[in-house]
């Protein structure tokens, strides 16, 4: 049977040892974040994830959401679990106390989010989308809108959504057709249809708050004419109570490959009453406040699912007897040795663990800098922290989810034939994980964002927030013989990343397709190098801690870091070679040479089917 145990010890290592939580505690508003409070939050968070959310993961996948005449019913147990989750204050951990939030650091929120995603990623989408919608309203809404919507969203009695995609436009939002017509009372009538709307309709909360991208009648063409509106499922009365149903309805839900307990809806807006969030024609910028939050959240989803897959693969490998060790019998009292003794099984398990723990360290670094960006009073330091978050957002989203998909597939492979059937649960993790590489901007789009926008922004200012500390770290430790086996590979990978950055920037200026061709490999090179840096830092820290009661934990860090450097970081050599090869082989092949195919007939058949 599937199992999950929240990795509280490793989370604590990242939160309090690898990154100095004292720096967070010194920020305004966080002075009371003592170790006892951190322990309480982590332990209680682990309890609700392990005992209340995870038991619903497999059953929720089997039952899925049900749509009936515009109403959506979530799987058995979800409503009760969400009620307990909201009443426990887990929706509002890092929300503003002015609107009922607990005001905890983002660092704590991110660690809790990983546990929720691991325990039940479908469930995580309901509070996760709410948090994103809260962030946009909190950042760009008027005080009146904040007072009207945020307290109930923070409380968890109202949830939130993000409505961008339409059937004819996904990434290219300049093509959207949803209209917003201004009314005499300052509101707008919103009309149009949106698809792939997570949590668009469900039975967990009394009201749903939709953030909707639309265009006013006189808006400029393209993305410059997009505005952001908030549309409530029910009309909100002057006293804050809910009135009649607004003109927004769920036309259907998608039958999906994974995350089946999350309602993915087609939404129709028929003269729905909405209110402008922020300024007219600035909707895309305002929505990106939520989008960037969600992209980081999707990365954490990948990390959570990857951890869940690893734990179940490890448990199976320890328990399953199969064959004898190549170096001699290891379990003479048993008819066969456990799978754990076989090198290829250990290879897959170590890949999973090295990526999971490495990504957890990187998520901790990003969360730490988010806290600094939000709270520190020094303007330059605030800008530096925000720049770091900007450059790392596409890396977290794409690299984490790519690693997670590899990890979930390894989990199936470790299980062999039992991994391919539902009983052991790991096939669900592959299906659930696959969407993380697609939604909130596909991983290819994240790579293009990294090389096309972030890398050259402000003359490389974003990039320097990563390059400078890594360069200083290498210079400070390059003569340490005890670290040579770690510093050497890190320095080589970092050198490749520096050279690739220059090459992609130069070639991309002359021919944008060069940057496009290199983008995905470049992002992976960036992610692998970042993890190499963090694994090396963890070795330095762990060596200082040896000689105590937790030697197994710290020695495990050192050995996993050694595996990462010798077995995973060499992937950067191939990535670098691919980047330097340029775009010629991608773009040279004539379209017709891709294969003989009746495209006209195919298009006609698809049109008839739709």
Nearest in space to 301 (alpha carbons), one of 421, 197, 203, 405: 405
Neighbour-count burial of 432, counting CB atoms closer than 10 A to its CB (0-12 exposed, 13-18 middle, 19+ buried): buried
Which own/partner contact pairs does 422-427 have at CB distance under 8 Å and 24+ positions apart? 422/62, 424/1, 424/2, 424/312, 424/316, 425/1, 425/2, 425/57, 425/58, 425/312, 426/2, 426/309, 426/312, 426/313
Task: Provide the pairing of β-strand 234-236 with 227-232.
Answer: unpaired
230, 92 Cβ separation under 8 angstroms: no
Q: How many helices (H) and strands (E) does the chain have?
A: 20, 11
Give how far Cα 80 sits from Cα of 52, 84, 123, 203, Å.
Answer: 9, 6, 12, 11
258, 434 Cβ separation under 8 angstroms: yes
426, 558 Cβ separation under 8 angstroms: no
Integer Rg of the chain from CA:
25
Phi, psi of 478 (to 5 degrees): -70, -20
- Annotated active-site residue in 380, 440, 481, 485: 440
- Residues of 358-371 as b/e, b for ≥16 C-beta within 10 angstroms? bbbbbbbbbbbbbb
Specify whether 423 is catalytic.
no
d(C-alpha 393, C-alpha 146), whole Å: 26
d(C-alpha 587, C-alpha 216), whole Å: 39
d(C-alpha 40, C-alpha 11), whole Å: 13
Active site residues: 440
């Amino acid at each position: 049977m599937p199992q999950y145990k929240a990795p509280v010890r490793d989370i604590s290592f990242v939160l309090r040892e690898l990154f100095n939580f004292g720096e967070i505690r010194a920020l305004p508003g966080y002075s009371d974040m003592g170790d006892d409070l951190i322990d309480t939050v982590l332990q209680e968070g682990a309890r609700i994830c392990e005992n209340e959310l995870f038991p619903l993961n497999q059953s929720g996948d089997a039952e899925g959401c049900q749509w009936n005449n515009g109403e959506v019913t979530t799987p058995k147990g979800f409503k009760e679990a969400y009620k307990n989750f909201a009443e426990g204050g887990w929706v509002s951990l890092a929300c503003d106390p002015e609107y009922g939030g607990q005001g905890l650091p983002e660092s704590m929120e991110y660690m809790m989010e990983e546990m929720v995603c691991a325990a039940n990623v479908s469930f995580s989408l309901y509070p996760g989308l709410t948090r994103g919608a809260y962030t946009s309203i909190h950042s760009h809404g008027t005080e009146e809108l904040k007072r009207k919507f945020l307290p109930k969203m923070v409380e968890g009695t109202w949830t939130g959504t993000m409505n961008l995609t339409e059937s004819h436009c996904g990434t290219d939002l300049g093509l959207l057709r949803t209209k917003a017509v201004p009314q005499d009372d300052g509101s707008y009538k919103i009309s149009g249809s949106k698809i792939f709307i997570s949590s668009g309709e469900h039975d967990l909360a009394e009201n749903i708050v939709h953030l909707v991208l639309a265009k006013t009648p006189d808006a400029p063409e393209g993305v410059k004419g997009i505005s952001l509106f908030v549309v409530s499922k029910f009309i909100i009365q002057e006293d804050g109570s809910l009135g009649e149903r607004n003109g927004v309805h769920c036309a259907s839900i998608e039958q999906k490959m994974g995350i089946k307990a999350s309602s993915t809806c087609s939404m129709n807006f028929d003269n729905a009453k909405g209110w402008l969030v922020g300024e007219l024609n600035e909707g895309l910028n305002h929505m990106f406040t939520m989008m960037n939050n969600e992209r980081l959240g999707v990365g954490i989803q990948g990390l959570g699912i990857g951890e869940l897959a690893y734990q179940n693969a490890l448990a199976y490998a320890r328990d399953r007897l199969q064959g004898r060790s190549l170096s001699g019998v290891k379990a003479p009292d048993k008819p066969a040795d456990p799978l754990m003794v076989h090198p290829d099984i250990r290879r897959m398990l170590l890949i999973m663990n090295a990526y999971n723990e490495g990504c957890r360290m990187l998520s901790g670094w990003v969360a730490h800098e988010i806290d600094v960006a939000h709270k520190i009073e020094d303007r330059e330091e605030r800008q530096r922290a925000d720049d770091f978050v900007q450059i790392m957002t596409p890396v977290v989203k794409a690299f984490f989810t790519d690693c997670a998909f590899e990890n979930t597939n390894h989990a199936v492979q470790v299980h062999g034939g039992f991994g391919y059937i539902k009983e052991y649960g790991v096939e669900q993790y592959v299906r659930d994980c696959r969407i993380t590489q697609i939604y909130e901007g596909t991983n290819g789009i994240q790579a293009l964002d990294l090389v096309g926008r972030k890398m050259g922004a402000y003359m490389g200012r974003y990039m320097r927030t990563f390059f400078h500390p890594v360069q200083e770290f290498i210079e400070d430790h390059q003569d340490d013989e005890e670290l040579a086996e770690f510093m050497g590979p890190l320095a080589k990978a970092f050198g490749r990343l520096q050279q690739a950055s220059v090459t992609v920037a130069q070639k991309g200026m002359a021919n944008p397709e060069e940057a496009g061709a290199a983008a995905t490999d470049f992002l992976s090179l960036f992610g692998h190098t970042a993890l190499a840096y963090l694994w090396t830092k963890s070795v330095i820290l762990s060596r200082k801690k040896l000689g105590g009661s937790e030697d197994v934990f710290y020695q495990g860090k050192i050995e996993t870091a050694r595996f990462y450097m010798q077995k995973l970081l060499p992937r950067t050599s191939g990535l670098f070679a691919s980047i330097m090869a340029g775009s010629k082989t991608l773009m040279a092949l004539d379209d017709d040479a891709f294969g003989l195919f009746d495209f006209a007939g195919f298009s006609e058949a698809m049109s008839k089917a739709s």
